[in-house]
Amino acid sequence: MENLVDPFVHAVSTAIEGLAAVVVGYGAIVAFYRFVLQSPRRRMVPGYYERARIDLGRKLVVGLELELGADILQTAIAPTWNHIGIVAAIIVLRTVLNFVLEHEIEHLQERLGETIMERA
């Protein structure tokens, strides 16, 4: 039975990692477009950069969460203590990154709200 489950779990975790890469890559492309290629007139709108950073941050958070899920699945098929330790360290780092990103997103949203309120 294990011989059937291991390849399935590995395939699912690989697919989730690929999905995470697509989400982060899409976010990076959209951010590049917004920061570099969009017209200068649109970039002058108050709060423009904050909105773009919030959007990018959200995509990074989703990508990190997908990667965490893939890491957890990987521990299910390779439960050696060495591998568990490595995955635990990766999970801690990604969780800290996720926390910092979410905090930054909240800060940007508050700042964006203040900017909008000042203009009204």
Residue 108 has pLDDT above 80, yes or no: yes
Amino acid letter, residue 22: V
Share the mean pLDDT of the chain.
83
* DSSP character at residue 1: -
Q: Report pLDDT for 116.
A: 57
Q: Report pLDDT for 42.
A: 75
Tens digit of pLDDT for each residue in 31-78?
A: 988 888 777 777 777 777 878 888 888 899 899 889 888 888 888 776
Using the structure block, give the residue that is written with the tokens 């930054």. 104
pTM of the entire predicted model: 0.75
Contact 59, 25 (CB under 8 A): no
Contacts of 112 (CB under 8 A, 6+ apart): 47, 50, 51, 54
- Tell me the CA distances in angstroms from 84 to 15, 40, 80, 114, one per residue in order: 21, 49, 6, 45
Contact 87, 39 (CB under 8 A): no
